[in-house]
Amino acid sequence: MPKAPNQKYKLFYILELLRSESDEKHPVTMPQIISYLKQNGIHAERKSVYSDMEALQILGYDVVCQKNPAGYFAVMRKWLLYGCPETPEEMAKIIKRSMAAIPDDLPPVPDELFI
C-alpha cells in the first residue's frame, strides 16, 4: 500500500518525465528523476526507482539505461503502446476512418468531437 497519497502514481510520473524530457542524446539521471518525483509530492529512493524502471520494462515500455552520457530514456514506439494513437489528432483520424463501417441509419457523430 502506498505510504503517501501520490505514491501510487510514481510509475506514471517517471514515464511522463522519460517521455517529455529524455531521449538517446539527453537521458535523465537518477538524481533528476528523484527530484522530479519530489516536486510532484512523491518521496522516492534510488533503489525504488530502479525497481520502477524494471516494472516499466515488464509492462512493455522500452526504458533504456545508458552509461555515457549516464541516465535513462524511453524509446517511444507507436506499436509499443498497443496501437494506441499518441495524439488526439491521430485518434480523430482513426475514428473518422472507422465511420465507414457504421451503418447509414445511425445518427452522425457531431463534427465538434473531431479536432
User: Quick one: pLDDT at residue 9?
Assistant: 87
Strand segments (E) across the chain? 62-67, 70-75
Give the gyration radius of the chain's Cα atoms. 19
Q: What angle do CA 82, 8, 62 make, to 5 degrees?
A: 35
Q: Are 14 and 65 in contact (CB under 8 A)?
A: no
Q: Under 8 Å CB-to-CB from 110, ≥6 apart: which residues?
A: none
Which three three-digit cell numbers place residue 96?
473518422
Give, for all 115 residues of the chain, the pLDDT tens digit. 456 677 888 988 998 898 888 888 888 999 999 999 999 999 999 899 989 988 888 888 888 887 777 777 777 544 344 455 566 677 677 667 766 665 666 666 667 666 5
